[in-house]
Amino acid sequence: MVESFNLEIRSGFLLVTGIPYVNSARQIKFGTLVSSLDLAGDLTVAPKTHVAYFIGEYPCRADGTPIEQIRNQSARQQLAPGLEIDHTFSAKPKPKDAYDDYYHKITTYVAIFAAQAKQIDPDVKAQTGLPIAVQDAEAHVFKYIDTASSRAEIDVITAKLALQKVAIIGVGGTGGYLLDLVAKTPVREIHIFDGDTFLSHNAFRAPGAASLEELRAQPFKVDYFKAIYSKMRHGVIEHKAHVEEANVHLLRDMQFVFICVDKGPAKKLIVERLQEWKIPFIDVGMGVYRADGFLGGVVRTTASLPDRRDVARGKISFVEGEGNNEYALNIQIADLNALNAALAVIRWKKHFGFYLDCAGELNSSYMVELNQLTNIKSLDGTASNDNP
């Protein structure tokens, strides 16, 4: 038997509209049942939670008394942009505490509400026969639904990162990890710039695992990474070139830029143009050295914002290879690259209001040998040492 519920999928949530219920005035109303979605690609798996949400008045019995047994909380809450719920319910299936699938979950909740409505009107039903409404994949960033945000109920916060254009200049060690993290946010276009090919040494300091066949093909780094991240999203735009005078104008429309290059003249050009165009950016860098058979070093993350440029001017070096160190000799370690990228992305997310920002740091330096992170937020050297 086919049961034609009116379904919609929105921002990682399943919506079932037209659910009949009784309000406190013993009137039959129609509300919307909402559930988070747990997916394996485009296939549902067993729901991880028995909790559901409801849009409408509080459902009551046929006599107008509230169905208190399922009440979790009643408060207006925004789950995602354009999706606000009124109530949260908790109804565990019997005899076990987990639902077999979404059909089991939805029909259980619908039965609770509709049974009371049917006592007033035996002909009322939730099955309307309307088609399923889904999001247009081409109009959105991801090729499958971001259920990570919906499960955590942070879609509204995540939406703050829905920028139009972000650039990553250099997708070597740190830049590759930056792309990995930014690709999982709702930025519509991620422009990656790099003129180098992806070789064996790159595979050992990049996210993921390159095959022997991929390395033999000697792809451009930007092509290699685009092929990976285009599996999950749209809008990875490759530029097979280093940024220089002839193409620096391509950065002018960016809302944010990550700089992951250590060539002094190129970095100087990029920084000057971004400052001129009032574009916020983050510059990353590492200084790694050998000492008595060990490696030590500093991982630096420097933010430059349109109204807060001074710290960056004092911290960003235009000397080859992050100053007088061995970084230019390719001492890059994947874990330090990943840390550098993570610190940069956290600072980027703070700038756009995703993370709470109480420090307002513009420069962070992590010293490997001391396990110490030092922040600077002003030109006079005001700093905070997070683990003295």
111-165 pLDDT per residue, tens: 999 999 999 999 998 876 555 555 544 457 999 888 899 888 899 999 999 999 9
Q: Is the pLDDT of residue 322 over 70?
A: no
Q: Is the pLDDT of residue 99 over 80?
A: yes
User: Domain coordinates of the chain in residue numbers?
Assistant: 6-138, 162-385
pLDDT at 151: 86
173-209 pLDDT per residue, tens: 999 999 999 999 999 999 999 999 999 999 999 999 9
Q: Is the pLDDT of residue 386 over 60?
A: no
pLDDT at 223: 97
Instruction: Using DSSP, state whether 142 is helix, strand or coil.
Output: strand
Which pLDDT band holds residue 247 (cuts at 50, 70, 90)?
Answer: very high
Q: What gap in Å lies between CA 354 and CA 19, rounded to an integer? A: 35
User: Among residues 310, 302, 325, which one has the least CA distance to residue 375?
Assistant: 302
Q: What gap in Å lies between CA 70 and CA 109, rounded to an integer? A: 10
Structural Rg of the chain based on CA atoms: 26
User: Among residues 106, 97, 118, which one has the least CA distance to residue 28?
Assistant: 118
Q: What gap in Å lies between CA 154 and CA 355, rounded to an integer? A: 11
pLDDT at 323: 44
Q: Is the pLDDT of residue 387 over 50?
A: no
Q: Tell me the mean pLDDT in the region 3-15.
A: 86
Q: Tell me the mean pLDDT in the region 13-33.
A: 94
Cβ atoms of 319 and 340 closer than 8 Å: no
Q: Is the pLDDT of residue 382 over 70?
A: no
Cα→Cα distances 102→15, 17, 51, Å: 11, 15, 12
Q: Which two tokens stand for residue 171?
A: 């997708």
For the chain, how many residues are written?
A: 388
Burial (CB count <10 Å: 0-12, 13-18, 19+), residue 13: buried
If one compares 25 and 41, the residue with the highest pLDDT of the two is 25
Q: Is the pLDDT of residue 236 over 60?
A: yes
Q: What gap in Å lies between CA 25 and CA 64, rounded to an integer? A: 6
pLDDT at 324: 43
pLDDT at 321: 53
Which pLDDT band holds residue 326 (cuts at 50, 70, 90)?
Answer: very low
Which pLDDT band holds residue 96 (cuts at 50, 70, 90)?
Answer: confident
pLDDT at 125: 86
39-94 pLDDT per residue, tens: 898 889 999 999 999 999 999 999 999 999 999 999 999 999 889 999 999 999 88
Q: Is the pLDDT of residue 1 over 90?
A: no
pLDDT at 11: 85
pLDDT at 127: 72
Pick the CATH number of 162-385 from 3.90.1150.10, 3.40.50.300, 3.40.50.720, 3.90.550.10: 3.40.50.720
Q: Is the pLDDT of residue 328 over 50?
A: no
Amino acid occupying residue 148: A
258-313 pLDDT per residue, tens: 999 988 899 999 999 999 999 999 999 999 988 899 999 999 999 999 999 989 88
Q: What gap in Å lies between CA 177 and CA 179, rounded to an integer? A: 5
If one compares 11 and 272, the residue with the highest pLDDT of the two is 272
pLDDT at 388: 34
Q: How many CA atoms lie within 13 A of 142 on its CB side?
A: 19
